Structure 1
Amino acid sequence: MDLHSITQSLVTLAEDNMAFFSSQGPGETARRLSSVFAGVREQALGLEPALGRLLSVAHLFDLDAETPANGYRSLVHTARCCLAHLLHKCRYVASNRRSIFFRTSHNLAELEAYLAALTQLRALAYYGQRLLAINRPGGLFFEGDEKITAEFLREYVTLHKGCFYGRCLGFQFTPAIRPFLQTISIGLVSFGEHYKRNETGLSVTASSLFTSGRFAIDPELRGAEFERIIQNLDVHFWKAFWNITEIEVLSSLANMASATVRISRLLSLPPEAFEMPLTSDPKLTVTISPPLAHTGPGPVLIRLISYDLREGQDSEELNSLVKSEGPRGLELRPRPQQAPRSRSLVIHIHGGGFVAQTSRSHEPYLKGWAQELGAPIVSIDYSLAPEAPFPRALEECFFAYCWAVKHCALLGSTGERICLAGDSAGGNLCFTVSLRAAAYGVRVPDGIMAAYPVTTLQSAASPSRLLSIMDPLLPLSVLSKCVSAYSGAETEDQSDSDQKALGMMGLVRRDTSLLLRDLRLGASSWLNSFLELSGRKSQKSSIAPVESMRRSVSEAALAQPECPLTLKELSLKGSSEATDTPEMSLSVETLGPNTPSDVNFFLRPEHPREEDEVKEELNPKDRSQGVSNAFPEGFHPRRSSQGAIRMPLYSAPIVKNPFMSPLLAPDSMLKTLPPVHMVACALDPMLDDSVMFARRLRGLGQPVTLRVVEGLPHGFLSLAALCRETRQATELCVERIRLVLSPPPAAPPP
């Protein structure tokens, strides 16, 4: 059924049910049922025009005709799911309302819950219309005055969210995934209750299991508690909850259900610099220094996973790097015959919002990948925020990537084909590691597979990010807290109850992260790596010092407070060759007159990008309007009763760094990326990140593919064994990796 048919059928049934219960006398239950059907009728009639408007222009924001996906389509689809559920419920009531077995209270509670959800979805549809008015044509993210974005978010975050986490939880997803989401939400609110009591580790998990019953039988209580948690608990709570899968008992159970591999070993890479050949001239080398940001040199952990025991994987040199993990760390068993080295290597970077999880959480599906691809997999365990904010994770991932490329023979591979693969935050790091490899002039991977990646870490509004109001895995406030932690700008305002919940070690970690944040603001160590590149890209005997370059940049900044340096003048490859017209400029600000290292760079567009494929022009008057008049007269969405939400409404300047938000990178940097294959979710708040990144690459003539799966939440790779839909989506990721490792033969020239 099309949208209009669904709406008309729903309105007709709602009116019929409303008339029936209005005639049942003055009873409270009959009055509430009559009222809820009147509300369904009102909201459905008001929602249809707004959805029709979004649907009429949604095709303008698709990547191409074969990929009909963007946030506007997702908003319409989600609203249709809610309308369809209400239509089914109204039919059921109309057919059974006279039966003695009709459960009046149950049906009333469900109808009221979905009416609340429909009301909030109507608000999202109006917000979607406002985004159409204020965004540039074809853009899914707002680019302009951050005050407008802050105003939008300030209004948006006050919306009531609890209705989406009770009876309506996961209604937009495929039915097979909903029981799991319900289990996760019950576990979350139970975990949050005991987290406040300063319980930790396995004890809080066990306590949660015993006390979660009341949240299972009372969906309204669960929804209210879920909303309170996402608005008030800090990033340390989410780190602790997401890391439950790291507990030995749970990780062992997960691994029992996964493929059996010959090798799963944790390696510790020593923090020692090494040389890498330049792709332009292998006789020249560049020095790859160990990670230095925030905490100084330190080892980097990687996990080697291989279905077969291959040549080099049992060498003394590799064995010397093995880090003990207790009983599970010794998975290498004797085998009569070694398999030859694979021609391929997969380097994996895990997700977790930059703040949680390790390769251990992602090991179950990685074992399946190793079996299906017949290639060794290296998964990088980078340091996590807020204790290790940007750019520590990027430095460690780049160091580990270069080490793996240089020592692929030890890992059981000849290194003929190398694929970088990651999900969510790991997808972001795959892009930035590749950009950094190109900047250093070393080998870039042969391709990238990124599942539901995050490509911009700004607090930017987009139609798909509006879905975070109902997403049980990626609520907006949680996204904001993760980004704030990764950028080093974690809020200092914490309540006494939250501090108690952290415990002594948690407070130590927090204080340490705040100290490191202050050091970062004073050092901007990510810039230093750029400035050192031109000196490193020569033979070791001719490496030039970079202090003079730092001094010249600092003196230019002192002479002129805002001194634009285009990419022609500061080439990331250390080249003096001029590029085409630069898309971005680099502005310089100094934090101290005698501190050359205190130089902050941030990107700023020099001119807007044209979108030729978008034909429709929006009313300029609409663009100048704010968000206060987003709703028509007489419509009032439900507001949260949980008080003010703790989340920053302005983005820190550092999130505009292209090595943090690759979507904001200039064209000259994006052109250095290898073929990119993305797998996104239609109902993921991060969908627009993938669509816009693919559009930028497509516009530059870069090879890129985007596949969008339906009905699944963000993070489906960790749910690979859950149901048929998640298995199919995981197989799609494997297929994309296989395209990198075994590309189809090139077509012969005409």
Structure 2
Amino acid sequence: MDHKLVFSSLNEACEDTIAALCAPEEDLPYGEVAERLTTCMREIQRHATALEPIVTGLTNVYHLYDFDEETPGNGYRTLVKVLLSCLLHIIHKGRYISGNVGKAFFRADHNASEMEAYLSALCQLRALLHLAQTLLNDTPCGQLCKLQDAELSRWFVQEYSSMHKACFYGRCLGFQFSPSLRPVLQTVVISMVSYGETYGKQQSGIGKAALSILTSGKYVMDPELRGAEFERITQNLDLHFWKSFWNLTESGIITGFNRIASTPVQVNLTLSLPPVPLQLPLASDPSLTTNVSPPIAHWGPGPVLMRLISFEIREGQDSEELLSFCRTDTRPISMSQLPWVQKQPLSPNLLIHIHGGGFVAQTSKSHENYLRNWSKELGVPILSIDYSLSPEAPFPRALEECFYAYCWALKNCHLLGSTAERVCLAGDSAGGNLCITVCMKALTCGVRVPDGIMAAYPATLLTTNASPSRLLTSIDPLLPLGVLSKCMNAYSGMGSEAVVPSVGGGSFSALTRDTALLLSDLTQGASNWIQSFLDPRRTIDRSRTQPLPPRDAVAINSTAASAPLNHSVHLDSLVAYPEGFQPLRSQCRSVIQISSCPILKNPFVSPLLATEQLLKGLPPVHIVAPALDALLDDSVMFAKKLRAMGQPVTLTVVEELPHGFLSLAQLSKETEEAAGACVQKIREVFQGQHLNHGLQNPLEQEETQPNAGQ
């Protein structure tokens, strides 16, 4: 995309819109609305004038930060793409206004509100581009992050905490993503803020679902209210809210729908491994063995839970020995019960999967939808590990359980329907982190490592270090920094919040017990919904300790304010913005604890910080990362580190998709294709395709720091 052409088209669209709005008043009886739009377009032009040289400077050098010439992708590229995407939306809206102003069905106030929302977004993106320019000038060429720079981390966290973000979750929600995903993201955000209203109320799961449906209407009708409430939730609600919301994917209705929509499988068993020591052959000398202890961290030995999925029944999967490991809620299907089904021989391949969820939420059940498809496409049994979650089970409990399950699978592969001639570890997000660290632990213990790793958008650096892609946490509806930091702190053991029961699926008995409360809440929800149509700006008493923040963001000496603002706050910014410009500030300030815990710098927590000695000997690592992922730079930096060591590694960057796209695989063509890229990398592991050992990019050697423009 030619950025010069975009800026030129933007200026033309602004001039045309202003000219159309300057018609005689008797022809255009919009009065104040026309004035709002005219002011808005002039402010957009002002921002664009300041942004064009910054974008030119970034585009001149951002290729130096790619993994290689065939893999364009890093945070600098992404920020420029996001900005241009915002400008294209403004151009489209401006052309619509200039072509339809004065017509009978032209909604002047609606279009003015739309343009003002994009003006606010443009103002905040200008601030992010300025922060990216600061990073570029403060880090060596080719490096996306200064890993030991506490000062950069401090200003990054402060700017995130104080910047206004609600504009990205209202009318502008999801503008940077694939068009097919925007309705999905809107549904997720509306569901989240509606669920936030019922969070903490003592009632059945059915009651919460019903009340959430009733309260969701006002967030559809009022995008500004939705954005303000989402900002409040992402900045201030505790970790247990997120655990509760993310675990809704485990509810009976959603999992039932996923099973209907996904590929049916003949084997889907939940297993529980007793905590007994294992003996495995040494990788260096199979005639010798090594002991593998069961997980013991924090509360001593305990069972390890897993799920076995197989498209076809294979030898060993209906055996009495496997039956002894099955949990009470499932039993393997006996072949005598299915006489028409032919049992398949052992597969030479085995896929071991570790699910994502920020180390704090979800299980293999949440990821069944794509695992079922993978089992059919790859023709292999899949063992998915249900590790214990933080903050109840912080590091190293999850790693110990995943490593123990991996070793058990190698030793008992015949029960899983495989000979394990070739083994692949696959995981997404937190699961990608655990795949890498399980291999590191296998190397240190002398156990056989898998034949390859497929890590989708892995978390390889669990600190708050600033990088250009992590600036996206200010606009990302799925991975805000406030939530990301809570997950990091919980996994490190810094999250000391009390344990509360997760949200269940509800039952008739629970409904009977809560009938009176449910009816009361339904009445309140219906009343609030109706009132929201009459007065969308009405603030609702949510009976919470955290009040709803004012909907207006706060502008400090900003020429970008799109409407008069009567609030002001004191802020000692650590960032020197250009004279006359400050980003919009929020009165809903978040408190983010900078991750200074030494555990987060442990290489088995943040593999990007591991020494060459710990990483040397890893199997081929295949990383699939979305361009719009806040963790993109983590993937690029880790892939570069492995390549510089001579380790086999590939990086695939998919466009226009968010973090967590595997969970959305069946919802759009783009996510389906990205999931297909993951399957292809797993298939390459099973086929034993050779990877060339990467050499260090000569552009990274003795390069001087370029100037990204003033």
Whether the 8 Å contact between 1:272 and 1:289 is mirrored in structure 2 is: yes
Counterpart in 1 of 2:127?
Answer: 123
Displacement of 1:470 in angstroms is 1.0
Displacement of 1:145 in angstroms is 3.5
Whether the 8 Å contact between 1:420 and 1:430 is mirrored in structure 2 is: yes
Counterpart in 2 of 1:673?
Answer: 618
Whether the 8 Å contact between 1:265 and 1:330 is mirrored in structure 2 is: no
Whether the 8 Å contact between 2:620 and 2:691 is mirrored in structure 1 is: no
The within-5 A match list for 1:371-410 is 371-410=376-415
Counterpart in 2 of 1:247?
Answer: 251
Give the letter for the 1:444 counterpart.
V
Displacement of 1:98 in angstroms is 2.5
Please tell me whether residue 369 in structure 1 is matched to residue 315 in structure 2: no
Counterpart in 2 of 1:458?
Answer: 463
What's the secondary structure of 2:151's corresponding residue? helix
Counterpart in 1 of 2:242?
Answer: 238
Displacement of 1:684 in angstroms is 0.5
The within-5 A match list for 1:513-592 is none
The within-5 A match list for 1:685-704 is 685-704=630-649
Displacement of 1:329 in angstroms is 8.1
What's the secondary structure of 1:422's corresponding residue? strand
Please tell me whether residue 13 in structure 1 is matched to residue 13 in structure 2: yes
What's the secondary structure of 2:622's corresponding residue? strand
Counterpart in 2 of 1:105?
Answer: 109
State the distance in 1 between where 2:146 and 2:205 align: 41
Give the letter for the 1:13 counterpart.
A
Deviations 1:667-714 (A, max 9, x none): 111112100011100001010111001000111111111111111111
Displacement of 1:199 in angstroms is 4.2
Counterpart in 2 of 1:576?
Answer: none
- 1:491/1:47 Cα in 2 relative to 1: closer, same or farther (>3 Å)? farther
Give the letter for the 2:604 counterpart.
F
Please tell me whether residue 411 in structure 1 is matched to residue 416 in structure 2: yes
Displacement of 1:148 in angstroms is 3.5
Please tell me whether residue 142 in structure 1 is matched to residue 142 in structure 2: no
State the distance in 2 between where 1:677 and 1:133 align: 31
Counterpart of 2:478 (choices 464, 473, 477) is: 473
Counterpart in 2 of 1:208?
Answer: 212
Q: How many residues align?
A: 618
Deviations 1:472-524 (A, max 9, x none): 110110000010111110166xxxxxx9xx86889xxxxxxxxxxxxxxxxxx
Whether the 8 Å contact between 1:198 and 1:503 is mirrored in structure 2 is: no
Whether the 8 Å contact between 2:86 and 2:118 is mirrored in structure 1 is: yes
Counterpart in 1 of 2:434?
Answer: 429
Whether the 8 Å contact between 1:421 and 1:427 is mirrored in structure 2 is: yes
Displacement of 1:274 in angstroms is 1.2
Displacement of 1:143 in angstroms is 2.6
Whether the 8 Å contact between 1:446 and 1:674 is mirrored in structure 2 is: yes
Counterpart in 1 of 2:592?
Answer: 647
Counterpart in 2 of 1:534?
Answer: none
Whether the 8 Å contact between 1:154 and 1:649 is mirrored in structure 2 is: no
What's the secondary structure of 2:455's corresponding residue? strand
State the distance in 2 between where 1:687 and 1:202 align: 38
Whether the 8 Å contact between 2:269 and 2:307 is mirrored in structure 1 is: yes
Displacement of 1:718 in angstroms is 0.8
- Please list every run of 5 or more consecutive structure 1 residues that lacks an aligned counterpart in the other structure: 493-498, 507-625
Counterpart in 2 of 1:315?
Answer: 319
What's the secondary structure of 2:279's corresponding residue? strand
Whether the 8 Å contact between 1:469 and 1:476 is mirrored in structure 2 is: yes
Greater RCO (CA < 8 Å, at least 6 residues apart) = 2
Deviations 1:116-153 (A, max 9, x none): 10110000000000111222322111233313321332
Give the letter for the 1:251 counterpart.
T
Counterpart in 2 of 1:87?
Answer: 91
The within-5 A match list for 1:268-287 is 268-287=272-291
What's the secondary structure of 2:427's corresponding residue? strand
Counterpart in 2 of 1:620?
Answer: none
Displacement of 1:629 in angstroms is 4.2
Give the letter for the 1:425 counterpart.
A
Give the letter for the 1:633 counterpart.
E
Counterpart in 2 of 1:222?
Answer: 226
Deviations 1:362-415 (A, max 9, x none): 011101110011110000000000000011000000000000011001110011
Displacement of 1:250 in angstroms is 1.5
Deviations 1:509-563 (A, max 9, x none): xxxxxxxxxxxxxxxxxxxxxxxxxxxxxxxxxxxxxxxxxxxxxxxxxxxxxxx
What's the secondary structure of 1:677's corresponding residue? strand
State the distance in 2 between where 1:475 and 1:710 align: 19
Whether the 8 Å contact between 1:15 and 1:41 is mirrored in structure 2 is: no
State the distance in 2 between where 1:627 and 1:207 align: 41
Counterpart in 1 of 2:261?
Answer: 257
State the distance in 2 between where 1:151 and 1:710 align: 29
State the distance in 2 between where 1:637 and 1:6 align: 23
What's the secondary structure of 2:585's corresponding residue? coil
Counterpart of 1:443 (choices 432, 444, 448) is: 448
What's the secondary structure of 1:212's corresponding residue? helix
> What percentage of residue pairs aligned between the two structures are identical?
56
Counterpart in 1 of 2:62?
Answer: 58
Give the letter for the 1:17 counterpart.
T
Counterpart in 1 of 2:574?
Answer: 628
Displacement of 1:30 in angstroms is 1.8
State the distance in 2 between where 1:349 and 1:491 align: 25
Whether the 8 Å contact between 2:318 and 2:332 is mirrored in structure 1 is: no
What's the secondary structure of 1:102's corresponding residue? coil
Whether the 8 Å contact between 2:279 and 2:292 is mirrored in structure 1 is: yes
Counterpart of 1:347 (choices 352, 359, 366) is: 352
State the distance in 1 between where 2:33 and 2:606 align: 53
What's the secondary structure of 2:399's corresponding residue? helix
Whether the 8 Å contact between 2:619 and 2:648 is mirrored in structure 1 is: yes
State the distance in 2 between where 1:222 and 1:325 align: 40
Counterpart of 1:739 (choices 679, 684, 687) is: 684
State the distance in 2 between where 1:153 and 1:60 align: 26
What's the secondary structure of 1:116's corresponding residue? helix
Displacement of 1:734 in angstroms is 0.5
Deviations 1:227-257 (A, max 9, x none): 0000110110000000001012221111111
Whether the 8 Å contact between 2:461 and 2:608 is mirrored in structure 1 is: yes
Whether the 8 Å contact between 1:484 and 1:491 is mirrored in structure 2 is: no
What's the secondary structure of 1:409's corresponding residue? helix
Counterpart in 2 of 1:292?
Answer: 296
Please tell me whether residue 40 in structure 1 is matched to residue 35 in structure 2: no
Deviations 1:699-735 (A, max 9, x none): 1111111111111111111111111111111111110
Comparing 406-415 with 147-156, greater Cα deviation is found at: 147-156
Give the letter for the 2:658 counterpart.
P
- Please list every run of 5 or more consecutive structure 2 residues that lacks an aligned counterpart in the other structure: 504-571, 693-710
State the distance in 1 between where 2:575 and 2:411 align: 58
State the distance in 1 between where 2:311 and 2:384 align: 14
What's the secondary structure of 1:227's corresponding residue? helix
Please tell me whether residue 179 in structure 1 is matched to residue 125 in structure 2: no
State the distance in 2 between where 1:426 and 1:202 align: 31
Comparing 393-402 with 85-94, greater Cα deviation is found at: 85-94
State the distance in 1 between where 2:242 and 2:333 align: 31
Counterpart in 2 of 1:587?
Answer: none
- 1:466/1:406 Cα in 2 relative to 1: closer, same or farther (>3 Å)? same
Whether the 8 Å contact between 1:136 and 1:143 is mirrored in structure 2 is: no
What's the secondary structure of 1:57's corresponding residue? helix
Give the letter for the 2:423 counterpart.
I
Q: Root-mean-square deviation (CA), in Å?
A: 2.0
